[in-house]
Structure 1
């Protein structure tokens, strides 16, 4: 049984590959540049880009299950979901997981309307996002300067997302389900910085900006933090700087019910509680040290 993993070298894709190998599955990894892809021993690398369905046909040969992501470069939702699903069905793929992105595209409705045994994976905030969002600032200044320090979310470890995907792809009983994947606790941004401080042994602090301070500072690219959310909005919406800053203020100031609700879906699928933010911070503490990876 060969399982195709798209986005195999990405934050979540690497974890999907890891967990599938641990389950004894034969894994094929789709990547835009297979010659440069760093993959575990035994993984078959094939070239392809989800935004170009015409070049994907060979990737599905002999595949029985596939892990799909609903976005291409820059988090932009795929516009060719029906073509991708048609290729999978023609190749005889039986099962598919779909990892959602910032917004739904054409892939989810195409999959749910197909004959595939599908499962949608809808994670909340990735813990890994904080490596890009806060890493540079904490390494160099020991501070995170953002608005709404008491905003809440139940961030999920990418390790757990990969574990859920691998379980669904190798087990029965998950067809037609949509899993909202969260960590085990709802945390404020301020508390997460404190947890990273505990993991690193450093004096790290959250400094809250007012909305007006955000408007002044984040409208200047050189003074804006490297927020994954900002980059996603920039790619998806094509808005100007002012619109993007206002969009981010709305997201941070009025989070949706989906973004803050805690679920037990990870434990339901994998049979253990999801990893805590403290565990993730301890594993990644080196990224928040002054001499840490950049």
Structure 2
């Protein structure tokens, strides 16, 4: 039995869509009603990292896990891994981040990810670490301003990031969960090219057939914007991360997706072409009926 956590998130949803119908799978979510795309025979259970009893129920009979945690600074990994080991789980595939490899990265988020990786490696279970660069889907945060103003606002908009298609991350996760030979491996996952926000804006403009422009945020503006969405410590960590990108730390491209899946990593243009409706004006905004 396989357990998938984070099933309502960006990567977990894609993992579920890629599992074969005959794979025995259990899906753990705080809100099971929000789970979509699971294989037909999948079992969906409620689970919460704050509730040990729910973890014990979710892990009963499980031998492999796709693990996603997102509450930065919390001890969700420690709680889950204790329960997983007690339940007899053999292999954990964990979603981490590429920044853990960068010795210059010492922000809150990266330290938390490093600590969580150390917990898994020391757990006594087999492990596989997925270390993606930024998700291409992060550009969906631009959708509202693109729809309303034709503007992308970005900090260090001319700095490059080898962002990766979430579907590629999910494909590597499924391979690691269902094929032999991935235990003890750490996979840095990138797209096929490093792109700037300015270049991504240009590609979106071409695909949408409308003029878009990229406006540069200064650090104070970015801090203010992120401060409305995240705790102060997380916003500061994002600023430090952006500074590393400005300095070129995120521009390196790896062939890992192709090495694991046998096909090249997907391009940003291909990802954007499949998600264009998110960037288009709502029909009501152009005088058409809902």
* Alignment TM-score, normalising by the size of structure 1: 0.83
Spell out the pairing of 1:179-258 with structure 2 (5 A cutoff): 179-209=187-217, 211=218, 215=220, 217-218=221-222, 224=225, 231=229, 234-235=230-231, 237=233, 244=236, 248-255=238-245
Aligned-pair distance for 1:141? 0.3
Give the one of 128, 136, 145 matched to 1:137. Answer: 145
2:42 counterpart residue number: 43
Structure 1 residue runs of 4 or more that deviate by more than 6 Å after TM superposition: none
Aligned-pair distance for 1:90? 2.1
Whole-angstrom distance in 1 between the partners of 2:178 and 2:149: 45
Give the one of 100, 122, 126 matched to 1:113. Answer: 122
Q: Structure 1 residues 60-69 or 146-155, which shifts more?
A: 146-155
Q: Which whole-Å deviations, capped at 9, do the CAs of 1:201-231 have from their partners, x for residues lacking one? A: 111111234x3xx52x4566xxx3xx6x984
1:18 counterpart residue number: 17
Q: Contact conserved, 1:67 with 1:165, CA < 8 A, in 2?
A: yes
Whole-angstrom distance in 2 between the partners of 1:175 and 1:219: 39
Whole-angstrom distance in 2 between the partners of 1:262 and 1:204: 27
In the alignment, is residue 90 of structure 1 matched against residue 86 of structure 2? yes
SS at 1:191's partner residue? Answer: helix
2:275 counterpart residue number: 284
Q: Which whole-Å deviations, capped at 9, do the CAs of 1:44-99 have from their partners, x for residues lacking one? A: 11101124334310101111110001323xxx144143332222122221111010
Aligned-pair Cα RMSD in Å: 2.5
Cα 1:258–1:119 change in 2 (3 A) is farther
Cα 1:10–1:142 change in 2 (3 A) is same
Structure 2: runs of 5+ lacking an equivalent: 98-108, 285-290
2:103 counterpart residue number: none
Q: Contact conserved, 1:182 with 1:265, CA < 8 A, in 2?
A: yes
1:260 counterpart residue number: 251
1:7 counterpart residue number: 6
Aligned-pair distance for 1:184? 0.7
Aligned-pair distance for 1:42? 2.6
1:99 counterpart residue number: 95
Q: Which whole-Å deviations, capped at 9, do the CAs of 1:122-160 have from their partners, x for residues lacking one? A: 11101111112x111101000113332211001111111
Whole-angstrom distance in 2 between the partners of 1:33 and 1:191: 37
Q: Contact conserved, 2:5 with 2:66, CA < 8 A, in 1?
A: yes
1:27 counterpart residue number: 25
Structure 1: runs of 5+ lacking an equivalent: none
Cα 1:115–1:249 change in 2 (3 A) is closer
How many residue pairs match? The answer is: 269
* Alignment TM-score, normalising by the size of structure 2: 0.84
Q: Which whole-Å deviations, capped at 9, do the CAs of 1:142-190 have from their partners, x for residues lacking one? A: 0113332211001111111110000000011111111111111111110
Q: Contact conserved, 2:13 with 2:36, CA < 8 A, in 1?
A: no
